[in-house]
């Protein structure tokens, strides 16, 4: 196997990210954001809804994501695996449930910050 360093890093990152879905603070954060059964106006069905920590709207599970308040890759870009792993598998107080719309905006802004910093690394 003769992958480039970049390809190898991307592979390891996606593997770690997949594993982080089972990180207990992640689902604990989701459980804490639970507000109750609500009618989903789009589908006209009742389902579990969660509070977005940013816009304070209530959303069905599929429109909620768990966000790292301090991003996994900061404005300085990828530093080393210790930093990356510690930030990815972080305590619950660095996690928040956000809606997909808010998450998109936050991730975009973090990306812009990294660019301003002079780094092309992506989360
Ligand atoms: Zn939101």
Question: How far, in Å, is the centroid of ligand 1 from the Cα of 4?
Answer: 38
The predicted pLDDT at position 42 comes to 84
pLDDT tens track, the chain, 123 positions: 689 999 999 999 999 999 999 999 999 999 999 999 999 888 899 999 999 999 999 999 999 999 999 999 999 988 999 999 999 999 999 999 999 999 999 999 999 999 888 655 555
The predicted pLDDT at position 121 comes to 54
Q: In a 10 Å sphere around its CB, with 0-12 CB exposed, 13-18 middle and 19+ buried, how is residue 9 labelled? A: middle
Question: How far, in Å, is the centroid of ligand 1 from the Cα of 122?
Answer: 22
Question: How far, in Å, is the centroid of ligand 1 from the Cα of 15?
Answer: 27
DSSP letter for each residue of 71-84: -SS-TT----HHHH
Question: How far, in Å, is the centroid of ligand 1 from the Cα of 99?
Answer: 4
The predicted pLDDT at position 123 comes to 52
CB atoms within 10 A of CB 87: 16
């Amino acid at each position: 196997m003769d992958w480039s360093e970049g390809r190898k890093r991307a592979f390891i990152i996606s593997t770690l990210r997949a594993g982080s879905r089972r990180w207990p603070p992640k689902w604990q954060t989701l459980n804490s954001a639970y507000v109750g059964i609500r009618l989903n106006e789009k589908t006209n069905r009742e389902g579990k809804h969660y509070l977005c920590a940013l816009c304070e709207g209530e959303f069905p599970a599929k429109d909620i994501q768990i966000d790292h308040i301090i991003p996994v890759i900061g404005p300085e870009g990828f530093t080393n695996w210790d930093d990356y792993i510690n930030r990815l598998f972080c305590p619950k107080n660095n996690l928040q449930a956000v809606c997909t719309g808010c998450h998109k905006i936050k991730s975009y802004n973090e990306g812009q910050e990294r660019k301003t910093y002079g780094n092309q690394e992506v989360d």
